[in-house]
Amino acid sequence: MSGITTAEVSRISVAGTLKELSPTLELAARLSAIHIIDYDGGELGIGTPDDAADDISHRLAAMRSCISHLNSSAADEVIENRRMRDSLENSLPELVDTAIDDIKRLDEVTTQLEQLEERSDGLKLLSPLGLDLELLSGFKSLSINIGTTPILGQCLDALNEHSEELLVFSSHGKGKRGVLAVYCENSSAEAVERLLTQHEFESMIPPDGEGSPAMMLQDIDSEIGGLKSEAENLQSSLETWNDANGGLLVGGIEVLERDFEIQTAPVRVAVSEHAFIMEGWVLSEQAEETVAALSKVATFAESTPFEMPRGRGHHFTDEEVELPPIAFQNFNAARPFELLTDAVGRPKYGRIDPTTFMFITYPIFFGLMLGDIAYGIAIVAIAWWLSKKFARNELVIQASGLLFYIGFSTIVFGYIFGEFAGFEYLPHGECDIEGIVGVAQCKAAHGHYHWEAAAHAPGWVTWMTALYPNGGEIQWMWEGMFGLNLAYPFHRVSTHINDLIVLSLYLGILHLALGMILGFREVNREHGFVAALFEKGSWLLVLGGGFFFVYSFIVSPKHSDADYLALLDMFATVGLIVLGIGIFMVVIMLWKYEGIPLPIAIGLGPLESLQILSNTISYVRIFAVGIVGVKIAETGNDMLYAPLGHTLADLSHAGAMDLILIPVLLIGWLGVQVFALILGMFSPNVQAARLHFVEWMGKFYETGGIPFVPFGKKLVNVEAE
């Protein structure tokens, strides 16, 4: 089946007696092929969960609590289903209870330690006062202020001026932070508090108890030591438990979650006193097999292919239709790009799925922006590591696949650009006839081509010139139509910088045209050819006519050939006519199909048409992001690697400062490379995503589909039943 649109689905209905409900749901879960439509009530009632659901729920709560503390990982190997079931029925519940008891005790010990350490800190602070704890509170006729100040000496001097009215105890360390206990009569309490506040006094509440803080500290330290020893033993015991049983815990939760889904599924089904009816969706290619299997356990099972109603008029008169959930049907290589489609939202049923197109265009855009062999190799390495580290995580596997594609594209374009870690390592050539770039073109003009080796690239990079014909001393040029020039190698930051700008714009025009053609197909399919002609064909005419007119306007002053000027004049005339027709059709589209009053549509049409220019210019970011990335790495190479390489090349004449700077320059250069790599992974991704999500998909894509989620949790860490 085609991957251009979403998968075709069929409506499935299953009915039978209530006794058949449980086996039907169990089989449906094993098939994992039906997207159940939840029954929301009506003439019939809804089912009730199986009796086992409560027990499973309690067991899941305990096991999830356990795994949240232990951070258990899946077993290295997939667990046999029989072994997992046996463990769930026998040893695992008791093991989980043991672990939870240890976890609870560890939490208690941790809380006690925190309380004791807080009490110890208070006692250590009060110990220098030499006062027993019972003397720090409980006086009716006296007010006591206990606390600390960062300017103990100044505070004591101020208190000494009122020494006849006060009794002051303090720690040592005049002028530094210290602790104070100030006793005064109740009548003087307010004045004393005001004086202390002026000296940054922070009051504290003394710990409860009696006796000397120093003696109490000894007891507390002993108790803390015992609790820490117990905590270490508990933690070690839990780590041992996790090593031995963590994989079973992860697998057990997975199996019980699946069981819980099955046991609670009756609440999604319509039931009467004696029968049930289950409605859902199934992939059309699996419908026959699914119906045949369910017919063995249920009285009735039938599927009907879903057909989109056609000829429903225009957008603002669409009737409400219950659309099926959306399942992708892309070929395996394109599936990583389903992440991008899901990031925007799935398309409505029967509409175009952009995943396959992005499989082609997204890596191209990314590679054009980053285009560096070193960074491409790093991205591919990250993708490989993720695929091995999280081999059973479907989402991470998709992400690693996406990284692999963009990393490989980065390597390919890095080879074409001749760039490695920001170094341009290929020789640069120049024809002695001004304005000629290619070697073949220079020879045809009877000129001579002169080569210069890469000036700043080190030897561990320039060896890659051996990967090119003639040691990299080549310059193949293809001079295409409308000023499009392609070259091998393509020196994007020097010789071919203008060609990259032109290439970016032309890629944008083709990309937008593709989006409009896809949009034409969608509107034609749902609303007819005339609607498609005005709603999407109008924009194609604006894009095409605008391109020919603008191209002739820009290029004409640069040419003197009469024949070519005549051709440009024809381009300008035809382009202007086509542009005018396109704008006229946009006005009609706004009036007839968007419901905008004609006078407003006449004024709005030309303004709306200008958005095509904005959309096209937006693709210049392919050029801009790439150049900025190169310049960041290049700056690091010039400022940090160049002096480092100069020092290493002549260590015998290096001074002491030069030797000291070697690790500094090396770390700095590696830091710039890491920064350039991180920036290179994020910025081109953001810009490529924007070009696809905003500029391109806006021409044809309509979200609103819900994902096709088959009933029956997929087991990843345990063998399927």
- Alpha-carbon distance of 383 to 396, in angstroms, equals 9
- Mean pLDDT is lowest, of 443-452, 504-513, 631-640, 658-667, for 443-452
| Whether the Cβ atoms of residue 390 and residue 601 lie closer than 8 Å to each other | no
pLDDT for the residue 310:
63
**Scanning the structure block, which residue is given the tokens 């073949």?**
440
- Whether the predicted pLDDT of 290 surpasses 60: yes
- Whether the predicted pLDDT of 302 surpasses 90: yes
- Whether the predicted pLDDT of 15 surpasses 90: yes
- Alpha-carbon distance of 233 to 230, in angstroms, equals 5
- Alpha-carbon distance of 426 to 437, in angstroms, equals 15
Q: Do the strands 346-347 and 178-185 form a parallel or antiparallel pair, or are they unpaired?
A: unpaired
| Whether the Cβ atoms of residue 577 and residue 584 lie closer than 8 Å to each other | no
Torsion from C-alpha of 660, 662, 665, 668, nearest 10 degrees: -90
Q: Is the dihedral of CA 68, 69, 75, 79 positive or negative?
A: negative
pTM for the full predicted model: 0.82
- Alpha-carbon distance of 192 to 90, in angstroms, equals 70
**Scanning the structure block, which residue is given the tokens 């027990």?**
55
**How much of the chain exceeds pLDDT 70, in percent?**
98
Q: Nearest CA to 28 among 296, 229, 396?
A: 296
Q: Nearest CA to 252 among 99, 357, 469?
A: 99
Select the more confidently predicted residue: 438 or 224.
224
Q: Nearest CA to 540 among 591, 589, 599?
A: 589
**Scanning the structure block, which residue is given the tokens 């006794």?**
19
Strand partners, 301: 14
The reply to whether 5-47+269-307 and 138-205 are identical in fold is yes
- Alpha-carbon distance of 609 to 229, in angstroms, equals 75
Q: What are phi and psi of 51, to 5 degrees?
A: -60, -30
Tokens of 595: 């419901």
- 490-514, pLDDT tens digit by residue? 988 888 888 899 999 999 999 999 9
Tokens of 585: 């059709």
Tokens of 240: 């041992």
Strand partners, 479: 485
SS3 718: strand
Tokens of 540: 């194609």
Instruction: Output the 3-class SS for 333-367.
Output: HHHHHHHHHHHHCEECCCCECCHHHHHHHHHHHHH
Tokens of 318: 């669409």
| Whether the Cβ atoms of residue 203 and residue 189 lie closer than 8 Å to each other | no
Structure confidence at residue 454 as a pLDDT band (50, 70, 90): confident
| Whether the Cβ atoms of residue 353 and residue 5 lie closer than 8 Å to each other | yes
SS3 176: coil
CA distances from residue 412 to 355, 364, 408, 626, 707 in whole angstroms, order as listed: 22, 10, 6, 15, 35
Number of neighbours of residue 550 by Cβ within 10 angstroms: 16
Q: What is the mean pLDDT of residues 422-444?
A: 80
What's the topology of domain 138-205?
Alpha-Beta Plaits (3.30.70)
Q: Nearest CA to 326 among 660, 719, 652, 5?
A: 5
Instruction: Output the 3-class SS for 210-259.
Output: CCCHHHHHHHHHHHHHHHHHHHHHHHHHHHHHHHHHHHHHHHHHHHHHHH
| Whether the Cβ atoms of residue 673 and residue 222 lie closer than 8 Å to each other | no
| Whether the Cβ atoms of residue 53 and residue 263 lie closer than 8 Å to each other | yes
Select the more confidently predicted residue: 320 or 601.
601
| Whether the Cβ atoms of residue 416 and residue 367 lie closer than 8 Å to each other | no
Q: What is the mean pLDDT of residues 614-633?
A: 90
- Whether the predicted pLDDT of 343 surpasses 50: yes
- Alpha-carbon distance of 295 to 683, in angstroms, equals 54
pLDDT for the residue 314:
46
SS3 491: coil
Select the more confidently predicted residue: 215 or 507.
507
pLDDT for the residue 311:
53
Q: Nearest CA to 347 among 37, 707, 686, 690?
A: 707
pLDDT for the residue 317:
41
SS3 629: helix
By the 10 Å C-beta count (0-12 exposed, 13-18 middle, 19+ buried), 58 is classed as exposed
Q: What is the mean pLDDT of residues 36-46?
A: 86
Strand blocks (E) in 480-558:
485-488
Residue 43: alpha-carbon gap to chain centroid: 45
The domain locations on the chain are 5-47+269-307, 48-123+216-266, 138-205
DSSP characters over 572-615: HHHHHHHHHHHHHHHHHIIIIIS---HHHHHHHHHHHHHHHHHH
pLDDT for the residue 316:
42
Sequence-separated (6 or more) residues with CB below 8 Å from residue 74: 247, 250, 251, 392, 716, 717
- Whether the predicted pLDDT of 720 surpasses 90: no
Residue type, 48: T
**Scanning the structure block, which residue is given the tokens 């199909």?**
593
pLDDT for the residue 581:
93
**Scanning the structure block, which residue is given the tokens 């992860």?**
250
pLDDT for the residue 488:
87
- 313-338, pLDDT tens digit by residue? 444 444 567 889 999 999 899 999 99
HSE-up (13 A, CA, CB side) for residue 679: 17
Sequence-separated (6 or more) residues with CB below 8 Å from residue 76: 247
Q: Which CATH architecture has domain 5-47+269-307?
A: 2-Layer Sandwich (3.30)
- Whether the predicted pLDDT of 175 surpasses 90: no
Torsion from C-alpha of 32, 37, 38, 43, nearest 10 degrees: -130
- Alpha-carbon distance of 422 to 436, in angstroms, equals 27
- 48-90, pLDDT tens digit by residue? 888 889 999 999 999 999 999 998 888 888 899 899 999 999 9
Tokens of 7: 């998968």
